[in-house]
Amino acid sequence: MDSISGIYYILIFSGIGLGFIVVTLLISRLISPGRPNPEKNSVYESGEETSGQSWPALSNGYFIIALLFLLFEIEIIFLIPLAIAFGKSADPHSAVILWGAITGFVIILVVGLAYAWINGHLDWMKPVPMKPESSGVVPEERYKEFNKKFS
């Protein structure tokens, strides 16, 4: 076993892990009952029947904000090792290089934020209010007279 290099250990371990995942998914697929019925598909959280679509369409703003958040978080994670190296650096030449790298990185962050801001990716879409339609018997003119009288 000493003649096997480290890469083979990684490949064997990865193969065993992947095999375990595949076997587990196959066994669960074989023994799970797949019998949907109206009772299983019924509403169970609030007890109210859904009106309209069960999966409403979300605004693209949610996804853009999430992607920007992930982008900036990942860039900040890359700043942490640079800051640690900057703090431990005793050589003034490497400290200047690290300071320049951190400054350049922050400039990239600021330019990315400015780009997203200028192009309106950070503007949240506001819902358009809709006037409710009433099927009441009172004419609209009467409502206007009533509101004028008491305003």
- pLDDT category of residue 127 using cuts at 50, 70 and 90: low
Query: What does the pLDDT average to over 103-123?
Result: 85
Mapped onto helix, strand or coil, the DSSP state of residue 21 is helix
Query: What does the pLDDT average to over 129-145?
Result: 76
Query: What does the pLDDT average to over 25-40?
Result: 84
Structural domain includes residue 70: yes
Structural domain includes residue 30: no
Structural domain includes residue 72: yes
Distance between CA 19 and CA 13 in Å, rounded?
10
Structural domain includes residue 93: yes
Structurally, the chain folds into a number of domains equal to 1
Q: What is the pLDDT of residue 72?
A: 81
Domain range holding 109? Answer: 60-124
Residue 74, token pair as written in the block: 């990942």
Query: Across all residues in the chain, what is the average pLDDT?
Result: 80
The conformational region for residue 115 under phi > 0 = left, psi -120 to 50 = alpha, else beta, is alpha
- Report if pTM > 0.85: no
Q: 41 near 54, Cβ under 8 Å?
A: no
Residue 51, token pair as written in the block: 């009106």
**Does residue 126 surpass a pLDDT of 90?**
no
Structural domain includes residue 136: no
- pLDDT category of residue 52 using cuts at 50, 70 and 90: low
Q: What is the pLDDT of residue 12?
A: 93
Query: What does the pLDDT average to over 5-17?
Result: 90
Structural domain includes residue 8: no
Structural domain includes residue 54: no
Structural domain includes residue 144: no
